[in-house]
Amino acid sequence: MLNFRITSIVQVWVVFLVLMLAWPAAAAPVASDLRQRIEQLKETGKINVAGVSIGAIDLLPQLYERSDFNRLWTRESDIEALLAAIRTSDQDGLDPDDFHLQPLNRLRRELNATEKPHKPGAAADFDLLLTDALLRLGYQLFYGKVDPESLDAGWNFERPLLNEEAVPAIESALRSGTIAELLRSLEPQDPTYTALKRALKRYREIKARGGWGTVPAGPKLEAPMEDARVEALRRRLQVTGELPTAANGPRNLFDGSVVQAVKRFQTRHGLDADGVVGLATLAALNVPVDARIDQIRVNLERTRWLGRTAERDYLAVNIAGFDAVLVRNGERIWAARAIVGRPYRMTPLFRSDMTYIVFNPTWTVPPTILKKDLLPKVKSDPSFLTRNSFKVVDRGGQTVDASAIDWSTARAGTLPYQIVQQPGTKNALGRVKFMFPNKYQVYLHDTPDRTLFQRAARTYSSGCIRVDQPVELARLLLNGAPEWSPARIDKVLAGKKTVTARLPVSVPVFLLYWTVEVPADGSVHFRNDIYERDAPILAELRKEFRPTVRRPKPPEPETVPEAGGEQAPTVAPEEVMQRVPLKAAGPTVAGAPPPVTATP
State the greatest distance between any 2 C-alpha atoms of the chain, in Å, as a whole number.
127
CA atoms within 13 A on the CB side of 398: 3
CB contact set of 435 (below 8 Å; sequence gap of 6+): 354, 355, 356, 357, 358, 443, 560, 563
Q: What angle do CA 199, 200, 201 make, to 5 degrees?
A: 90
Give the CA distances from residue 449 to residues 113, 269, 445, 563, in Å, rounded to whole numbers and listed in that order.
Answer: 74, 25, 12, 26
Q: How many CB atoms lie under 10 A from the CB of residue 286?
A: 15
pLDDT of the chain, 600 residues: tens digit per residue: 444 444 444 444 433 333 333 344 445 688 999 999 999 999 999 899 999 999 888 899 999 999 999 999 999 999 999 999 999 999 999 999 999 999 999 999 999 887 666 777 899 999 999 999 999 999 999 999 999 999 998 999 987 777 778 999 999 999 999 999 999 999 998 899 999 999 999 999 999 999 999 999 999 999 999 999 999 999 999 999 999 987 777 899 999 999 999 999 999 999 999 999 999 999 999 999 999 999 999 999 999 999 776 678 999 999 999 999 999 998 999 999 999 999 999 999 999 999 999 999 999 988 878 888 889 999 999 889 999 999 999 998 899 998 888 888 888 888 899 999 999 999 999 999 999 999 998 999 999 999 999 999 999 998 999 999 999 999 999 998 999 999 999 999 999 999 999 999 999 999 999 999 999 999 999 999 999 999 999 999 999 998 776 655 555 555 544 333 333 333 333 333 322 222 233 332 233 333 332 222
Supply the pTM of this predicted model.
0.85
The third-level CATH classification (topology) of the domain covering 312-362+422-518+558-597 is L,D-transpeptidase catalytic domain-like (2.40.440)
Q: For the chain, give every domain's residue range.
A: 26-187, 214-285, 312-362+422-518+558-597
Q: Give the CATH number of domain 214-285; options: 3.90.640.10, 1.10.101.10, 3.40.190.10, 1.10.10.10.
A: 1.10.101.10
- The Cα–Cα gap between 452 and 468 comes to 10
DSSP secondary structure string for all residues of 36-59:
HHHHHHHHHS-EEETTEEE--TTH
Tell me the chain's radius of gyration from C-alpha atoms: 31
